[in-house]
Amino acid sequence: MRPHEAFIAELNKQITNNSHQKAAQLLQHFDSRRLKALSYFQNLELAKQRAAYIRWKVTESLDKYLVDFEASVLRKGGKVVWAYDAANALQELDQIILRTKSKKIVKSKTSLASEIGLMAHLKGNKDLVVNETDVGDFLIELTKESPFHPVLPAANLKYGEINKKLNTAIRSSLEADNQELMSDLREETRRNYLEADLGITGANFLIADAGMVAISENEGNARLCYTFAKTHVVLASIDKIIPSISDLELFFSLLSTHASGQQLSAFNTIVGPATREELDGPQEFIVILIDNGRSSVMASQDQRQALSCIGCGACHNVCPVFTASGGTALYQGAKSGPIGQVLNPLQSDLEAYKHLSNASTLCGRCTDVCPVKIDLHNHLARNRHDIVSQGLEKTGEKFGWYTWKKFMLNRKNMNRPAGIKGFTLKQFYKSEWGEQREFPKLAEKTFNQLWREAQGEV
């Protein structure tokens, strides 16, 4: 199936999925929480402007900041490994696992895991025991679903379904209530932390001047992933850099308020290589810096601002397309929602994934809510412009629009009976309209007729 066909098939599946639709209502609730949390800022606009400026400054000199970050990590005794793409990142990770003789691995939430196919790769190695410690991601793994939302991955799962899966996976009681389920899960996961040789985490931010990474979370599992393990591996994409540790005050609060409506997430950790005085914690700190197509976005001066994303997910919650469909699988790439529609075609293949940039109403709500002021709807429009200017539309599409223009500019055609025009329209949109949408009925009277009637000519 081609990416475009897979997109339509997934959309048709999700739009009729009741649990997806219910979970989509939860997004409204999250958006109201974001709105309430904005009152924590004395001057929200100024905070957003500052954040946008810092992220712009970093993106414009990313090469410098990445080298600064590497130098700071090395100076402190850690390591930085550069990975060009997903395969390269997994190869580097395999070498680290082999060298450190790690057998038990714990992992916390990172969007890069699904981007590079981390869990499938690690689980394919029969010598390893790999445990997911993020509750949402663990449930997703059990149900073999794709995450529903970047911040709420398992929001679409039903309670009974979760209960059954946990009953098989960790022998939690089928009658267990929420609290018991959480307690069973906690007990299971705690053992894994204690026995782990290697802990894998993501990073919300890479701090260039400190050579450390910042992690913001609500479960506390990320910090436990590296507390007991001998080796801490951080998987981070090259666009996560911020210049200084003093910028965290701004970014942590913008992230928490926009992601979950909290003034600050429950656990905010800044971690780096251990100093000589630190007797516990991991002996090795390694950051795998992953490009995976981000340099291609960097190459476009007009579009590179989209790399400023801090992954709060706020744009998902207000997007009419995401809230109607939901589910990250629809977006066929590293990111989902409006930001995924901008970045995924640029990161992988503009021609193959051009349908993502077209599947938007361009209403601009995503741009309004973005804490780092990414001009999302205009980036989508620019993608569309690039598709046309690079001649990447299908021949059928070009012919379709040519015919449409001819038809619309001809008064005789416009005055044809509604039935004929409706039939022509249906032919035009045949493959794109989808099964769930009702085709609009055309007005029985044409504008010409209405005008004449208004003027008393008939």
Among 54, 222, 370, 380, binds ligand SF4 (CB under 6 A): 370
- Contact map string, positions 114 to 153, toward ligand SF4, x by CB under 6 A: ----------------------------------------
Supply the minimum distance, in Å, between the C-beta of residue 150 and ligand SF4.
Answer: 7
Dist. CA 431–CA 438, nearest whole Å: 14
Dist. CA 221–CA 106, nearest whole Å: 10
Supply the minimum distance, in Å, between the C-beta of residue 338 and ligand SF4.
Answer: 6
Nearest CA among 281, 222, 229 for reference residue 103? 229
- Dihedral over Cα of 158, 159, 164, 165: its sign: positive
Among 211, 273, 282, 371, binds ligand SF4 (CB under 6 A): 371
β-pair partners for 198: 105, 231
Contacts of 374 (CB under 8 A, 6+ apart): 52, 305, 306, 308, 309, 339, 342, 367
Q: Based on CB atoms, which residue is closest to ligand SF4, 215 or 309?
A: 309
Q: Based on CB atoms, which residue is closest to ligand SF4, 233 or 319?
A: 319
User: Which tokens sit at 419?
Assistant: 């039935």
Q: Based on CB atoms, which residue is closest to ligand SF4, 102 or 260?
A: 260
Residue 204 DSSP SS3: coil
With beta carbons less than 8 A apart as the criterion, state whether 62 and 241 touch.
Answer: yes
Is residue 195 classed exposed, middle or buried when 0-12, 13-18 and 19+ CB atoms within 10 A define those classes? Answer: middle
Supply the minimum distance, in Å, between the C-beta of residue 305 and ligand SF4.
Answer: 10
Q: Based on CB atoms, which residue is closest to ligand SF4, 192 or 360?
A: 360
Contacts of 147 (CB under 8 A, 6+ apart): 114, 136, 137, 140, 153, 154, 327, 328
Between residue 306 and residue 335, which ones bind ligand SF4 under the rule CB under 6 A?
309-315
Supply the minimum distance, in Å, between the C-beta of residue 311 and ligand SF4.
Answer: 5
284 phi/psi in degrees, rounded to 5: -120, 140
Q: Based on CB atoms, which residue is closest to ligand SF4, 189 or 383?
A: 383
Between residue 29 and residue 68, which ones bind ligand SF4 under the rule CB under 6 A?
none
Stretch that binds ligand SF4, among 271-279, 305-313, 322-330, 416-424 (CB under 6 A): 305-313
Supply the minimum distance, in Å, between the C-beta of residue 224 and ligand SF4.
Answer: 26
Under rule CB under 6 A, residue 374 binds ligand SF4? yes
Nearest CA among 236, 237, 282, 288 for reference residue 102? 282
Under rule CB under 6 A, residue 206 binds ligand SF4? no
CA contacts within 13 A on the Cβ side of 204: 27
Among 96, 140, 372, 387, binds ligand SF4 (CB under 6 A): 372
With beta carbons less than 8 A apart as the criterion, state whether 322 and 338 touch.
Answer: yes
How many of the chain's residues bind ligand SF4 (CB under 6 A)?
15
**Would you give the end-to-end CA distance of the chain in angstroms?**
55
Supply the minimum distance, in Å, between the C-beta of residue 53 and ligand SF4.
Answer: 15
Place of tokens 């970093």: 58
Q: Based on CB atoms, which residue is closest to ligand SF4, 78 or 340?
A: 340
Q: Based on CB atoms, which residue is closest to ligand SF4, 327 or 371?
A: 371
Between residue 335 and residue 364, which ones bind ligand SF4 under the rule CB under 6 A?
339
Residue 230 Cα distances to 151, 271, 274, 310, angstroms:
29, 14, 11, 29
Stretch that binds ligand SF4, among 24-32, 129-137, 188-196, 304-312 (CB under 6 A): 304-312
Q: Based on CB atoms, which residue is closest to ligand SF4, 233 or 380?
A: 380
Q: Based on CB atoms, which residue is closest to ligand SF4, 261 or 313?
A: 313
Residues of this chain that bind ligand SF4 (CB under 6 A) = 258, 309-315, 339, 369-372, 374, 376
